[in-house]
A = this chain, B = another copy of it.
Amino acid sequence: MKKKVSIKDIAAQLNISITTVSLILNGKSKQVGLSEAQTERVLKYVEEIGYKPNMLAKSLRTGKTKIICLLIEDIADPFFSTVAAHVEELLNQHGYKIIYGSTKNQTAKAIELIDLFRDRHVDGFIICPPEGLESDITGLLNERIPLVLFDRYYKTIDTDTVIVDNLESACKAVNYLIEHNYKNIGFVTLDSEQTQMQDRLQGYEKAITDHGFTSYIKKLSFSKVNQTGIDDIVQFLTENPQIDALFFGTNYLTLKGIEALDRLELSIPGNMGVISFDDHDVFKLFKPGITAMAQPISQISEQMVNLLLEQIDSTEADRKRKKIIVPAIIRIRQSSVTKTDN
């Protein structure tokens, strides 16, 4: 109903210049020596009519939007949505808003989204990058747009990055199974070149070879997990009946695995030990609970936000880029890895 009021209207109403109002509104009145009285008068009036500056105009002029873009795999995935919640919370505290996009791990979608948000002049990006985004990331870097990668990174590009110690954690997870007397441990992972999956694979292989065991690896295609994932795992287990424990590369693979075990009427942990990379809210609800290597989401989020703010605030032309590795945490849940027939 009521017309939008601009800084100009305020100036007119109070019979002073636009500049004065702007200065006062931006807390520069002391700095430039505006009188107490004037300052108070303006502030009071502004408060009274509930004036809100037009952010678009402000952004156009200053080049800052106070918006950060968070690009994740899928906002419906509990890991990412929790990260989103944390990052939102943290950035809000610093006066930033976040706008997110789900890449579905598709290169094309990610490129599109980056372009979109860059066009919107976001002040920075936090990205969980799919494969093949090297040139776009380099583009952002060249334009000096603050940027943090997480969960995975590109070996060929020097970026600020936050990840977990995938290799060590995967190794630990497998060792945990080995300690519990499992001897034929399969690894269900994604058919992906991305660093996090590669590192987890290496961690698995290290643990297996350290103990002189045989490795059984099943790689699923990311895009087909939801359609054929269960069948693929069933087939994997049928072809390798000696497998007595499974290590899953991510939480949604674990969920598929549980369904597969169900179908094969294999019980956990009697017939099959299970451990998951990435925790999931519901793992504790299963009977038995599913043991998992959990990524410390709040820590990851904090580190990302810190790195990003550092970049935004940094004036140095060549700030050194940082790679932060946080340790994953094993969440042991009773009996998902206790072999009963032992």
Contact = CB atoms under 8 A, between A and B. Distances in A.
Contact of A55 (B101, B121, B287): B121
Interface residues on A, range: 35 or more
Contacts of A102: 85, 88
Interface string A228-245: 000000000000000000
Given A100-B100, A285-B259, A84 B88 contact: no
Contacts of A282: 255, 282, 285
A1 B82 contact: no
Contacts of A287: 262, 287
A52 B99 contact: no
Interface string A260-279: 00100000000000000000
Copies in the complex: 2
B81 A85 contact: no
Contacts of A99: 97, 99
Contact of A285 (B2, B54, B281, B286): B286
A52 B121 CA distance: 11
A174 B271 CA distance: 38
Interface stretch (A71-79, A127-135, A160-168, A310-318): A71-79
A60 interface: yes
Nearest to A66: B120
Nearest to A83: B76
A7 interface: no
A116 interface: yes
B1 A142 contact: yes
Nearest to A121: B56
A48 interface: no
A144 to B, nearest CB: 8
Contacts of A59: 56
Interface in A22-58: 52-57
19 contacts: A1-B142, A52-B115, A54-B60, A55-B121, A56-B59, A74-B85, A75-B75, A75-B84, A76-B81, A76-B82, A78-B78, A85-B102, A88-B102, A97-B99, A97-B116, A255-B281, A255-B282, A262-B287, A282-B285
Q: Which A-B residue pairs are the 6 nearest by beta carbons?
A: A76-B81, A282-B282, A56-B60, A99-B99, A1-B142, A56-B59
